[in-house]
């Protein structure tokens, strides 16, 4: 359950912070020592945001189910809502929110959460490796001109660790952050990457 923090006073009470998923799921293969565009057994990540209030109040059962099922990120892209609410700012204009992430195996069963000690719950068995996707956060608040009040965040990467040793996870992250070798004397600048990791 990676979290997001917006400091006191940076939003107005009640303003929403949302996520937007960009691209598709990638998988770190220990055997290939590289990021792959497909997962071994059709694994996916499901994120559960907050169902919009207007959907809860006025939506059909199908609409509520659509938003309630969360966003699914797979090698094929995104299904379900591509964006959902992370949280609403409190009376001080702050947000501190942890969102549920489910790493699913090919049968859509979630991996065991460390804090889930109920052995009667069926849990999935996704392949050992790291799972990566790109997202950004934004607010949908607009001003009188119709423009957005806040600029969306730069896209950032989340990496979820499924059973990798720290040395192997570090290797996967280094592959993302190490500048590629160049053939001539020109040096290319590397773009910054924010990595969040949970296992």
Strands 156-162 and 129-138, bridge-based pairing: antiparallel
CA 174-178-182 angle, to 5 degrees, is 150
User: Tens digit of pLDDT for each residue in 113-163?
Assistant: 555 555 555 578 899 999 999 999 999 888 888 888 888 999 999 999 999
3-state SS of the chain: helix, strand, coil percent to 5?
15, 35, 50
The answer to whether 99 and 73 have CB atoms below 8 angstroms apart is no
CA distance 96 to 15: 13
Going by the DSSP 8-state scheme, the letter that residue 11 receives in this structure is S
CA distance 74 to 93: 34
Percent of the residues in the chain that have a pLDDT greater than 70, as a whole number: 82
User: Tens digit of pLDDT for each residue in 2-34?
Assistant: 677 787 878 888 888 889 999 999 999 999 999
The two tokens of residue 152 are: 């969306």
The two tokens of residue 193 are: 């990457």
DSSP string, 38-97: S-TT--EEEEE-BPPHHHHHH--HHHHHHHHT-EEEETTEEES-SEEEEEE--TTS-EEE
């Amino acid at each position: 359950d990676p979290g997001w923090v917006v400091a006191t006073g940076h939003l107005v009470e009640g303003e929403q912070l949302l996520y937007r998923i960009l691209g598709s799921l990638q998988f770190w293969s220990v055997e290939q020592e590289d990021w792959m565009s497909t997962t071994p057994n059709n694994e996916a990540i499901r994120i559960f945001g907050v169902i919009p209030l207007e959907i809860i109040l006025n939506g059909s059962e199908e609409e509520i189910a659509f938003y309630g099922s969360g966003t699914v990120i797979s090698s094929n892209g995104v299904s379900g809502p591509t964006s959902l609410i992370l949280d609403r700012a409190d009376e001080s204009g702050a947000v501190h929110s942890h969102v549920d992430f489910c790493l699913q195996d090919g049968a859509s069963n979630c991996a065991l959460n460390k804090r889930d000690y109920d052995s009667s719950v069926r849990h999935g068995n996704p392949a050992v490796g790291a799972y990566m996707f790109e997202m950004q956060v934004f607010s949908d608040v607009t001003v009188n001109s119709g423009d957005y009040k806040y600029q969306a965040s730069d896209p950032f990467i989340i990496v979820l660790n499924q059973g990798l040793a720290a040395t192997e996870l570090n290797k996967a992250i280094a592959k993302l952050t190490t500048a590629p070798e160049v053939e001539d004397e020109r040096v290319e600048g590397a773009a910054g990457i924010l990595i969040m990791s949970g296992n």
